[in-house]
Structure formats: C-alpha cells, structure tokens
C-alpha cells in the first residue's frame, strides 16, 4: 500500500474519502470538528501539489433517503474556515451536474460532494455506484479511518475501478501507532478495556490477552466477569451467556502470567439516573436490588497503581456511565492517570475520546484514534477491509 506522499498527484484530480461523520449541537452547529482537523495534512499536501481536490464522505445513517438534516453543507463551511479558502459544495455525489462541477475544477480548487449515504448503493457496495465515483479522478486517496472497517462502495468497491489508489496521512498515523503498540510494545504493556458489554469486546480481549503484561477491566462489562466469579451483582448489566467465555479469558491470563484486574468496589444506584441515591460498596457487598454504574475510589487507586510503571497503554471504553456526573468519576480519574503516565498512550472507541476531551487531558495522550469500530477491529488483530482493498489495488499493478 502506498501513501499520498509516495504518489504523483501534481495537478491531478484527486478523490479523497474522509470520515466527516461529526456531531452537531441542537442548533445544527458542528460540536466537535476533530475528524475534520485530522485530515487537514492530507488536504494541504494535495493543495501544495496544485491538485484538483474532490472530497466525499458520509454523515449519519440516512439509509438512502435525502435528509437535509444530514447534509454535509455545514462541513463545507467549517472546512473553508479551517483551510482559509473556498470549499464548494456539490448538490449530490453523482450525476451530470456533479460531473460538470468536477470538470470545471482548476488546480488548487476544492469540491465537497454531498452525503454518500443519500444513495443506498453506497452501503451496499454497488459496483455501478463505485465506478461512477471512480470516474471523477486520476487518483483515489482513502483517509477515512473511522469507516475503514466497513465494506462500502466509496472505500472498497471503488478500488476496482481506479488506476491509482493510496492512503492519506491520517490512516498512516493510525496504522503506525497501532503497529508500535501491538507489534513491538515497550513493556510493561497495559490494556484497559471498558464499556457496557463483553460481547462487543470478546475478540479484542482474546487477542490482547496474548500481547499484554496487564489487563484492566472496567465499565458494565466488568459485572459479567464478577458474576462469573460468583459475586452478587444485583441489577448490573450482565451477559449470562458469556460468563463461560469470561472465565476462559481469566484462565488464559493466569496461564500466560498476565496480571488481570477487575474492580474491587463500585458506585451503585437503584437506577441509571442523575437523581438516584448512590452508594459506594465493595464487590463483596453489592446490593441485589441495585446496579453498579461506575468503579469506586479503591478501584481508582488500584488501577492508577497498575498504570504507574506502564510503558505502553491502550485504552478502549469508559469505566462507567460517564455521561452522568455521579457515575463519571472513575473514567475521569483514569483519564488523568493515563495522561500523567510516562507511557506511549493510545485511546479510542467506546466514547473514550469524548471522555478524555471532557477531562481536558487530550494534549497529554500520545494518540487518540478517530475510529470506533475500526479501532476495535485492530485491537482484535483483524485487517481492515478498506486497508486490504488498498493493498489489493497496489498488488494489481494497474499503473
């Protein structure tokens, strides 16, 4: 696979696939433009090469229906401001009018196509749709890491129909950091896995347990492990059908000499509400009628100590229901601990990035991934479909 700085794009039409699936506030203003800022190096490199820049992305899940609430027009406006130059907005992503706008581009011009998912053919990886997109440009650059685990027309199908394919600087950074963390990590290597359910993280746990020196489990998924060990967990979230799998992970950790950490206390409440009464109890004293919604202060101390000598930390998933203040202290405390460690720190997925931003520790984390599902699939040891498609494009030797 080649990267954008290894390709000849000078004055060529370059079609970028970015992930501009950004959050909006109630007034339809972009609430967080991190995903837009993350690809500015790729865009600026293309502009420096006097390329004609064509950008495509999705936003939300319109399921093939045109929805003005999911238009990329606000992204064009924000991108114009960040780049300091006009980003024109196309009325669609296919069709004769879009083709005319692309044909009229001059070197250094930028055109943003409308939401790809206004066409159901995008998510169905339709060959005809992919071929039409491919016909717009001389070079295709994928820099949409957050969408790299999907098999869609704009990131997988398109590579069959365009001669030159490569990846942008964002994908290059993401893959390089994962390579550092998972292939040859500085040790001790600690994985922190949180979030609500074991089911979404089982493959990641199975892959990581064979690579790390220590594994920390928090969030709702910890209660499946605790119940499997015989603890009363009350109304806490539990996947009963996965308790055996949880015990297999614990057994594997013991066999491999991996230190495995679960919460020793938690914050419990009658329900998941900001108004609910809360109690801090040890895991031996959990109330059968209440639910665990965050790690407790003793667990925070324990997990902080676990991280004290770490040289590599990978973190996926919060320690509790951090959106509610009463149940967000564990995630906040862990964010501070990770940020203040002397380790290579990589975080992402499962709202972990949102939690870190809210603590104000973002600048102290080595790398925050822009992907959720893609981040998790790399933790699982998988090859991302979009990355594999770029590899195949290069192997085809079409140039």
pLDDT tens by residue, 351-383: 888 888 888 888 999 999 988 889 989 999 899
The active-site residue out of 180, 373, 381, 392 is 373
pLDDT of 397 higher than 70: no
For the chain, what percent of residues have pLDDT higher than 90?
A: 84
Residue 219: active-site member: no
Q: At 128, list the tokens.
A: 């005809």
Q: pLDDT class for 225, splitting at 50, 70, 90?
A: very high
**HSE-up of 135 (CA within 13 Å, CB side)?**
13
Give yes or no for a contact between 321 and 273, defined as CB atoms under 8 angstroms apart.
no
**HSE-up of 201 (CA within 13 Å, CB side)?**
29
pLDDT tens by residue, 19-78: 999 999 888 899 889 999 999 999 999 999 999 999 999 999 999 999 999 999 999 999
What structural domains does the chain harbor?
A: 4-171+383-395 (3.40.50.1260), 187-342 (3.40.50.1260)
Residue 197: active-site member: yes
- The single-letter DSSP state of residue 153 is T
Q: Which residue do the tokens 């419990």 mark?
A: 268
Give yes or no for a contact between 346 and 231, defined as CB atoms under 8 angstroms apart.
no
Specify the range with the lowest mean pLDDT, choosing from 115-129, 288-302, 347-361: 347-361
Task: Find the mean pLDDT for residues 192-217.
Answer: 93
The active-site residue out of 197, 259, 311, 392 is 197
**Nearest-CA neighbor of 142 among 107, 97, 175?**
175
- Across all residues in the chain, what is the average pLDDT? 94
List the beta bridge partners of residue 281. Answer: 266
Q: pLDDT class for 393, splitting at 50, 70, 90?
A: confident
Q: Work out the burial of residue 243: count CB atoms within 10 Å of its CB; fewer than 13 is exposed, 13-18 middle, 19 or more buried.
A: middle
Residue 373: active-site member: yes
Task: Find the mean pLDDT for residues 264-279.
Answer: 94
Q: How far is CA 31 from the centre of its chain?
A: 17
pTM to 2 decimal places: 0.90
pLDDT of 399 higher than 50: no
The active-site residue out of 157, 218, 350, 372 is 350
pLDDT tens by residue, 292-311: 999 999 999 999 999 999 99
Q: Which pLDDT score, from 0 to 100, does residue 176 have? A: 93
The active-site residue out of 35, 52, 117, 214 is 35
Residue 35: active-site member: yes
The C-alpha atoms of residue 4 and residue 9 are separated, in whole angstroms, by 8
The C-alpha atoms of residue 371 and residue 326 are separated, in whole angstroms, by 27
């Amino acid at each position: 696979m080649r990267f954008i700085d290894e390709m000849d794009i000078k004055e060529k039409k370059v079609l970028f696939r970015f992930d501009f699936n950004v959050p909006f506030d109630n007034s339809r203003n972009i609430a967080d433009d991190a995903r837009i800022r993350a690809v500015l190096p790729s865009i600026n490199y293309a502009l420096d090469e006097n390329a004609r820049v064509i950008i495509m992305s999705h936003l939300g899940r319109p399921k093939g229906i045109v929805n003005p609430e999911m238009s990329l027009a606000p992204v064009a406006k924000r991108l114009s401001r960040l780049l300091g130059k006009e980003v024109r907005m196309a009325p669609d992503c296919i069709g004769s009018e879009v083709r005319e706008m692309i044909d009229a581009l001059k070197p250094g011009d930028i055109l943003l196509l409308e939401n790809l998912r206004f066409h159901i053919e995008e998510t169905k990886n339709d060959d005809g749709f992919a071929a039409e997109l491919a016909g717009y440009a001389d070079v295709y650059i994928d820099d949409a890491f957050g969408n790299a685990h999907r098999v869609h027309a704009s990131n997988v199908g398109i590579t069959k129909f365009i001669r030159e394919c490569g990846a942008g600087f964002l994908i290059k950074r993401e893959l390089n950091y994962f390579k550092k963390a998972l292939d040859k990590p500085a040790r001790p290597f600690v994985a922190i896995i949180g979030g609500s359910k074991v089911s979404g993280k089982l493959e990641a746990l199975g892959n990581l347990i064979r690579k790390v020196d220590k594994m920390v489990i928090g969030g709702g998924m910890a209660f499946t492990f605790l119940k499997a060990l015989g603890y009363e967990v009350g109304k806490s979230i539990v996947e009963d059908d996965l308790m055996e799998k949880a015990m297999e992970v614990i057994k594997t950790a013991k066999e491999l000499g991996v230190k495995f950490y679960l919460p020793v206390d938690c914050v419990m409440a009658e329900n998941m509400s900001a108004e609910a009464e809360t109690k801090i109890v040890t895991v031996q004293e959990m109330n059968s009628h209440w639910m665990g919604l965050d790690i407790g202060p003793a667990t925070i101390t324990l997990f902080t100590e676990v991280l004290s000598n770490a040289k590599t930390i990978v973190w996926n998933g919060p320690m509790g229901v951090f959106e509610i203040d009463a149940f967000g202290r564990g995630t906040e405390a862990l964010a501070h601990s990770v940020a203040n460690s002397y380790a290579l720190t990589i975080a992402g997925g499962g709202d972990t990035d949102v939690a870190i931003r809210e603590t104000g520790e973002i600048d102290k984390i080595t790398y925050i991934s822009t992907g959720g599902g893609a981040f998790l699939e790399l933790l699982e040891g998988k090859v991302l479909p979009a990355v594999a498609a770029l590899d195949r494009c290069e192997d085809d030797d079409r140039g």
